[in-house]
Structure 1
Amino acid sequence: MTIDHSEHSKTERGSFRLDETDKALALHWKSGSLKYSQFELLKEGGVAKLYSCLDANLRRRVVYKTLHDRLIDDEIEVQRFIREARVTANIAHPGTVPVHELGRDRNGVPFFTMKLIHGRDLREVITSLKAGEPNTLRIFTLSSLLKILIQVCHVLAYAHTRGVIHRDLKPANVLTSQFDASYVIDWGLAKVWGDPEHSNPRMTGQDDPAITPVGRRYGTPLYMAPELARGDAQIDARVDVFGVGHLLFETLTHQNLLSGETVEEVSYNLINKPLPRPSDVARTSIPHQLETICIKALEKEPKDRYSDVVTLADDLSGFLRSLPN
């Protein structure tokens, strides 16, 4: 599901090897987590770890995501982890990462496996653009970046038709591959319409841990929509409109939209202070039409935003068409 900078990634991009594809399938073949080997750590966060590994039966490398051992008894984290796998698996779109398997290892720790994608996340791209890295500047022009955001809108639009709101959009959750495909990842905080969000009271309404958890803060405060920061009981797909607007802001300015030393300060600023315009913080000029699109997507009141991500994508596409070839 993510970038593999290891030696395996360099060899995997070449031709198939006959000795691998034609290798006999063992009579006593391995199943579940036992069929995975050659683990290499890709990324480690506070909740989960991602590895690239070899599927012994299909002879291909995949991404293996697993919870930290210390969280195996944390009911909410386990529920969230399983939800991420199942939601992702059920949003069958070219812009979501295929999920191969969900299970538990021999120690009872949940895991799921996904397609291994070679590419970069948008956070890395923006960081490189801000640093003036020549190759990134050459590849990720304004047109190519807008095309990525339009693809993100299409993924979200499909998810919305399936009754799913992502609600945790941020640059790190957008992957762009070497073949110009873009993916929206990390659906662990997704809101599923009609789902009571589990029987645990910490998973419902005002107590949704993505908003106001007991004892600790979940989600990504720097990327929350105002209604999430306020803890509104009712949210809709316009949460993701704000999320795309936030991505557009950072793509244009290479700066953070929100600021604050603490979660509470970030939330207070988001709810009570005016948001900056892209032209206020950008080091280069911002096309007026594009800034207008960004500002509309970032309206604090959902009713003042684009009604859906499709309309937002249409305006981005219209701007693209206006650019000289």
Structure 2
Amino acid sequence: MSRSVDLKTQVISVNAPSAGHRDDRDIFATLPIKPQERYKFLRSIGFGGMKSVLLVFDSDTGREVAMAIMPDFRERPRADLERFVREAKLTAQLEHPNIVPVHDLGVDSSGSPFFTMKFLHGQSLASVLRRLKKEDPETVHRFSQLRLLQVFIRICNAIEFAHSQGICHLDLKPENVNIGEYGEVLVLDWGLARSLNPDSPVASPNVEDVDANGHVKGTPGYMAPEQIRITHEHPVGFASDIYALGGILYAMLTLSNPLAALPMEEILRRTVSGEIAPPGAAAPDDRHVPAALEAICQKAMALNPDNRYQSVAELREDIFAFQTGYVPKAENASPLKHAGMFLGRNRLIVLLLLTLILAAALATLAYYYFDAIR
């Protein structure tokens, strides 16, 4: 049974500011204050980065939702507070079937920020790939290569839409993709996302998000080279997401993260130098990697952004080409390969033509045979 919890005192565990006290954390002053009795705490879901996620019951709508909070918001720098609110507002603007929806944003009576999202059932893509690697029978049955490519296309759909709104995700990886119990695919965790539109109300500050080592924040193995070695020639942008999509496809083909099991600095070094083994060489011996998919993956993960797909739509179209028996552009196939794929797509027609030709040849031979013996 659910129980009502004072989010102000038991979940956030901070004291409200004294009367009349104001500081720069009043960035939330324009956000609505929600009555504490609206949300009933059920359990903690998890935590990571700068936020924790709770499962709560929304008494207004009568449903369970996930609530993101900043338990230590008073100790956080202003940039973190702005990023938290920006993530909520940015995600709320991305209304798409493959992007996790945000329901509510506000502060509790203590001044602690929160936002609520769809409570996700199912499992992450990362979990699916781990189970496939362990050859879990049920997972192997459910997630064939065809099924994984369908998931990948839905991820592409989400990112293509975000790009159309001028927004980059910048932390795409299997852990940030949720696969629902009934086939739903949702891209989540837009905490590092940025808007490239300077006029957007959720535009990112004109600075890079960097860690203590001077690297742009992200996940090594999926981060594009330009996220590690920042240059004016190749700024972080849409092409960085395309690289990460290639990394997700790489993981689907090999059941391992790109450059897995290497020390952090070695991962970063190989990323910026482009020293990544082709998927076919990194995949388990019993896992076939089609040449076409390997070519698509390598094009998406090209070291130079100019050599990658120039849009998510181009990447997705090459996946469609593979699925429907055409040669992807990334493969740069010979005319002979195109001819072979044409024959493969039109087996019945080719078989019928060969049958008709053979029948005509036999009829001609029979005619001359009987004509000769008369």
Indicate whether 1:256 and 2:257 are aligned.
yes
Report 1 or 2 for greater relative contact order, CA contacts < 8 Å, sequence distance ≥ 6: 1
Deviations 1:192-216 (CA, angstroms, capped at 9, x unpaired): 0133999xxx9534xx12x455788
Query: For the Cα contact (< 8 Å) 1:120–1:177, is it kept in 2?
Result: yes
Query: For the Cα contact (< 8 Å) 1:36–1:54, is it kept in 2?
Result: yes
Q: 1:141 to 1:58 in 2, by over 3 A?
A: same
1:221 partner SS: coil
Q: C-alpha separation between the residues in 1 aligned to 2:35 and 2:168?
A: 30
Q: C-alpha separation between the residues in 2 aligned to 1:277 and 1:300?
A: 13
Q: Aligned residue for 1:304?
A: 307
Indicate whether 1:295 and 2:294 are aligned.
no
Q: C-alpha separation between the residues in 2 aligned to 1:273 and 1:182?
A: 30
In structure 1, runs of 5+ residues without a counterpart are 1-6, 9-29
Amino acid at match of 1:168: D
* Selected match of 1:131 from 124, 130, 134: 134
Q: 1:33 to 1:132 in 2, by over 3 A?
A: farther
Q: C-alpha separation between the residues in 2 aligned to 1:70 and 1:222?
A: 30
Q: 1:133 to 1:42 in 2, by over 3 A?
A: same
Indicate whether 1:49 and 2:63 are aligned.
no
Query: For the Cα contact (< 8 Å) 2:216–2:227, is it kept in 1?
Result: no
TM-score by length of 2: 0.72
C-alpha deviation, 1:71, in angstroms: 6.0
Structure 1 vs Structure 2 CA RMSD: 2.7
Q: Aligned residue for 2:228?
A: 229
Indicate whether 1:76 and 2:75 are aligned.
no
Q: Aligned residue for 2:337?
A: none
TM-score by length of 1: 0.82
Deviations 1:206-254 (CA, angstroms, capped at 9, x unpaired): xx12x45578873223321011111234233111111110000001101
Deviations 1:145-178 (CA, angstroms, capped at 9, x unpaired): 1011111111111111111011110101111112
Q: C-alpha separation between the residues in 1 aligned to 2:74 and 2:150?
A: 38
In structure 2, runs of 5+ residues without a counterpart are 3-32, 327-343, 346-374
Q: C-alpha separation between the residues in 1 aligned to 2:120 and 2:65?
A: 9
1:167 partner SS: coil
Amino acid at match of 2:230: G
Alignment of 1:1-325 (within 5 A): 31-69=34-72, 72-195=75-198, 204-205=206-207, 208-209=208-209, 211-212=210-211, 218-233=217-232, 234-259=235-260, 260-262=262-264, 264-283=265-284, 284-322=287-325
C-alpha deviation, 1:94, in angstroms: 0.8
Q: 1:196 to 1:92 in 2, by over 3 A?
A: closer
1:223 partner SS: coil
Q: 1:272 to 1:238 in 2, by over 3 A?
A: same
